[in-house]
Structure 1
Amino acid sequence: MTTTLLLFGVFILMLIISVPIGVSLGIASVVTILVLNPVSVDSFTQTTIQGLNSFPLMAVPLFAFAGDIMGKGGISKRLLDLASILFNRVTGGLGVVAIVASLFFAAISGTGSGTVAAIGTIMIPAMVARNYNKAFSGALVATAGTLGAVIPPSITMIIYAVTAGVSVTGMFSASIGPGVLIAIALIIYTLYYARKEGYQGEGEQFSFKEFIIKFIKAIPALLLPFIVLGGIYGGVFTPTEAAAVAVVYGILVSVFLYKEVKISELPYIGFNAVMLSAAVLIIIGVSSGFGHILTIAQVPNTISDWILGISSNVILVMLLINLLLLFVGTFMETNAAIIILVPILLPVVMELGVDPLHFGIIMIINLAIGFITPPVGANLFMASQVSQIKFDELVRAIIPWILVMIVVLLVITFIPSISLWLPSFINN
């Protein structure tokens, strides 16, 4: 107990004084080792390095690079143009366009904030120009951006798969049903709100010729998810190899086909991807050492016994875990939360018969809701930045969207088949 209190006490103190989370984890671990010596420094160091010794983690910088180059290469604009042809005429059509485009772009970028930046830069001004409430527009795009963490190829899913020891391919396939369900729920709320506020469509007649033109222009963007995911599910290449394929395809499309990225810009884009990945990988490595101390101190067993001591009813336990994850998601970086909490919570839910793939989806959706929940709310900050909306206005506007996401979360939690039907179909 003393080890646990000191470890988490120092960690929380570091977070309070705004120390970066990777550094906070490291300081908390080192202080605990020096004061109580639960493990040796050599053991902590070896565990930290071993945490990075994983082939699937190579996909993280590659998918980050592919997502960045696709974002700058005109992909988002062509996806938006195609979605606009299909949905602009309906009430609330621009909001639907933003959600559908986010769904497709999420299958390219693999990140939530990247999706918000790519789609929000174009769609928020467009919605405001059509008299949509500005805060509503920003909240819509921020929420749609959570699909970046849920729809494959999601970097967050790769990290969960590595931490939980499950198949990356299995996680990708398990996420498709929940991702589509989230998009449908967001569209339903958008249509309801738009009808209530009178946000009319453009009223233009559908042009099949224009649709064909926009569709042909968007084909290279639409093909990427099918190439990457089809190759993974078809056994052509591994998720890590798929990330390399995505990089090559992104360069070909953005530089040589759409010609919106210059060859001279590639080193800069690569540098950004490396910087993003470096921060993530530092957190992963140090979190592994942090988790090693927790294991030695038998924290997972203690928490597991405590939770199961409250109740062995799966519904009650899953509700408690959802509340915990929603709370953690409001202040802790997603990847660190996964690495720290998976070894603690996964044994609990598996003892109750919950599939680890299903639990992974539940955990990621909970933490994705954290993207739009203050005080951290990475998607909120990104939407505020790209739209010039005051953060406090965005916080007030996001509340209904959070409630919609929580309803979908509960549906996915208690209907496992939404997550597990596709993995079962592929395995059969």
Structure 2
Amino acid sequence: MSAILASVFIGLMALGAPIAFAMLIAGLAAVWMKPGMPALVVMQNLFSGLDSFPLLAIPFFILAAELMSGGALTDVLLKFAARLVGMRRGGLGHANILTLTFFSGISGSALADAAGPGAMLIKMMRKAGYNDAYAAALTASTAIVGPIIPPSIIMIVYALTDNSVTVTGLFLAGVLPGLLIAVALALVNHWVSVRRDYRSAPELLDPAPLLLLFWRALPALMLPAIILGGIHLGIFTPTEASAAAVLYALIVGRFVYGTLHFHMLPAILFRTALMTASILFIVATSAVFAWVLTVGQIPQQAASWIASMELSQAALLVAVNVLLLLVGIFIEPLPGVMIMVPILAPLADAAGLNPLHFAIVVIVNLTLGMVTPPVGGLLFVTSAVSGVKMGPMVREMAPMLAALFVVLVLLTFFPAISTWLPGLLGYRN
């Protein structure tokens, strides 16, 4: 059963089949070839994979981001970020990083960040004289902050996969790592800008006073604070927070910014439904794949094999990082979490690792795969919206990837980066 699952899955991936279909067909083939096991269990696991109340947060967070974008959020945040740091050396590069960091606190999706505000930022950097490939590479690299700073779709799925952590704990644990990534990329941008003499472009900046731009951006900036603050104060659960975010985004876009009109809602709802369907289909097929893995005793066998090696905590973390870096090259973060966490989380627990620390290492590691060739979903999206070819963009990413790997090393060996904020607020998992 396990051999059939692995061979069909790897074969379909090699043929370029979408990851969701590869997992579903591999699971169905493994069940079909198992004597006495009805194929109906595949449908049962498809349904049970989606039969979870916390998953309701996914469409609501996506809808909130779409409503805020329709309500001129991207333009407001971009003007504020550009006015705040745009006059410095490499200012529009810094504005790119700051804007996408702001937006990551709303969308929870790296692909949405790259395709939406990322496209606008690349155009501005191009007008200011930045190399096209560099602007695209910086945008793709910064967009990975989206799944790390809350709200995060990947964190919601992770919490459903590993019962030792909560959505709230993961949201809080992702704040400092996400900001650390943004700072690391800002240092790279400064270094590159000094070498290439990328200067500010005053004509592209909004002449309005900084305080006025901050006041305009404040309603948008408040959304992440409302989500985390409301959850921490016990006003609502993470799932209820997503619904509150939709209501807040609707009010802000329609009555504060005045740019969200009711005739825009059908298109917004359609985009939300399309993105939600694609994400939840991956979740459902991952549930089938994970169930077959469990029935085949693969997680238990892997755990026993690694446990027999008696690795220290540091050695285990290094081994997990190497494994996930290889897995992340070929598998997107969401199915990566669904497949790998049931195998790796028990090992981390047996080794005495803090579950929040381990979860952030796994999430950041798999997210790096989105900017790592040959799959790298963010690379393809950014290339499409910018018109930049993959080759030049990947070459420009070398210093950024180096900075991201340095951050991963820091997160691996300094658990406090992930655990300090949750611990400060009383969350141990």
Q: 2:104 aligns to what?
A: 106
Offset of 1:188 from its aligned partner?
A: 1.0
SS at match of 2:184: helix
Q: 1:303 aligns to what?
A: 302
Indicate how the Cα distance of structure 1 residues 38 and 372 shifts in structure 2: closer, same or farther if over 3 A, else same. farther
Q: Is the CA contact 2:79–2:206 (under 8 Å) kept in the aligned structure 1? A: no
Q: 1:254 aligns to what?
A: 253
Question: Where do 5+ consecutive residues of structure 1 fail to align?
Answer: none
Q: Is the CA contact 1:44–1:292 (under 8 Å) kept in the aligned structure 2? A: no
Indicate how the Cα distance of structure 1 residues 148 and 37 shifts in structure 2: closer, same or farther if over 3 A, else same. farther
Offset of 1:46 from its aligned partner?
A: 2.8
Offset of 1:198 from its aligned partner?
A: 1.3
Q: How does 1:72-83 map to 2 (within 5 A)?
A: 72-83=70-81
SS at match of 1:150: coil
Q: Are 1:93 and 2:75 matched, yes or no?
A: no
Q: Are 1:29 and 2:24 matched, yes or no?
A: no
Q: 1:369 aligns to what?
A: 368
- Greater shift, 417-426 or 286-295, is seen at 286-295
What amino acid sits opposite 1:328 in the alignment? V
Q: 1:147 aligns to what?
A: 145
Q: Are 1:11 and 2:13 matched, yes or no?
A: no
Q: 1:420 aligns to what?
A: 419
Q: Are 1:245 and 2:255 matched, yes or no?
A: no
Offset of 1:212 from its aligned partner?
A: 1.6
SS at match of 1:148: coil
Q: 2:324 aligns to what?
A: 325
Q: 1:287 aligns to what?
A: 286
Aligned counterparts of 1:280 and 1:31: Cα–Cα separation in 2: 23
Aligned counterparts of 1:38 and 1:163: Cα–Cα separation in 2: 28
Offset of 1:255 from its aligned partner?
A: 2.9
Q: 1:138 aligns to what?
A: 136
Q: Is the CA contact 1:39–1:293 (under 8 Å) kept in the aligned structure 2? A: no
Indicate how the Cα distance of structure 1 residues 207 and 267 shifts in structure 2: closer, same or farther if over 3 A, else same. closer
Q: Is the CA contact 2:332–2:377 (under 8 Å) kept in the aligned structure 1? A: no
Q: Is the CA contact 1:38–1:296 (under 8 Å) kept in the aligned structure 2? A: no
1:60 maps to which of 55, 58, 61: 58
Offset of 1:202 from its aligned partner?
A: 4.2
Q: How does 1:397-416 map to 2 (within 5 A)?
A: 397-416=396-415
Aligned counterparts of 2:331 and 2:99: Cα–Cα separation in 1: 28
Q: 1:386 aligns to what?
A: 385
Aligned counterparts of 2:376 and 2:9: Cα–Cα separation in 1: 20
What amino acid sits opposite 1:24 in the alignment? A
Q: 1:50 aligns to what?
A: 48
- TM-score using structure 2 length: 0.94
Aligned counterparts of 1:219 and 1:135: Cα–Cα separation in 2: 32
Q: Is the CA contact 1:99–1:186 (under 8 Å) kept in the aligned structure 2? A: yes
2:120 maps to which of 114, 119, 122: 122
Q: 1:181 aligns to what?
A: 180
Indicate how the Cα distance of structure 1 residues 306 and 262 shifts in structure 2: closer, same or farther if over 3 A, else same. same
What per-residue deviation string (whole Å, max 9, x for no partner) do you get for residues 295-327 of structure 1?
121101111122233441221221111111111
Q: Are 1:350 and 2:349 matched, yes or no?
A: yes
Aligned counterparts of 1:375 and 1:208: Cα–Cα separation in 2: 42
What amino acid sits opposite 2:182 in the alignment? A
What amino acid sits opposite 2:24 in the alignment? G
Q: Is the CA contact 1:92–1:191 (under 8 Å) kept in the aligned structure 2? A: yes
What amino acid sits opposite 1:385 in the alignment? A
- Greater shift, 101-110 or 299-308, is seen at 299-308
What per-residue deviation string (whole Å, max 9, x for no partner) do you get for residues 334-391 of structure 1?
2111111110011111111112211111111111111111222121112112211111
Offset of 1:38 from its aligned partner?
A: 8.0
Indicate how the Cα distance of structure 1 residues 209 and 400 shifts in structure 2: closer, same or farther if over 3 A, else same. closer
What amino acid sits opposite 2:391 in the alignment? D
Q: Is the CA contact 1:283–1:335 (under 8 Å) kept in the aligned structure 2? A: yes
Aligned counterparts of 1:201 and 1:42: Cα–Cα separation in 2: 61
Q: Is the CA contact 1:85–1:211 (under 8 Å) kept in the aligned structure 2? A: yes
What amino acid sits opposite 2:418 in the alignment? S
SS at match of 2:6: helix
Offset of 1:39 from its aligned partner?
A: 4.7
Offset of 1:140 from its aligned partner?
A: 0.5
Question: Where do 5+ consecutive residues of structure 2 fail to align?
Answer: none
What amino acid sits opposite 1:30 in the alignment? L
Q: 1:215 aligns to what?
A: 214
Offset of 1:58 from its aligned partner?
A: 0.4
Q: Is the CA contact 2:230–2:236 (under 8 Å) kept in the aligned structure 1? A: yes
Q: Is the CA contact 1:357–1:420 (under 8 Å) kept in the aligned structure 2? A: yes
Q: Is the CA contact 2:361–2:411 (under 8 Å) kept in the aligned structure 1? A: yes
Root-mean-square deviation (Å) = 1.9
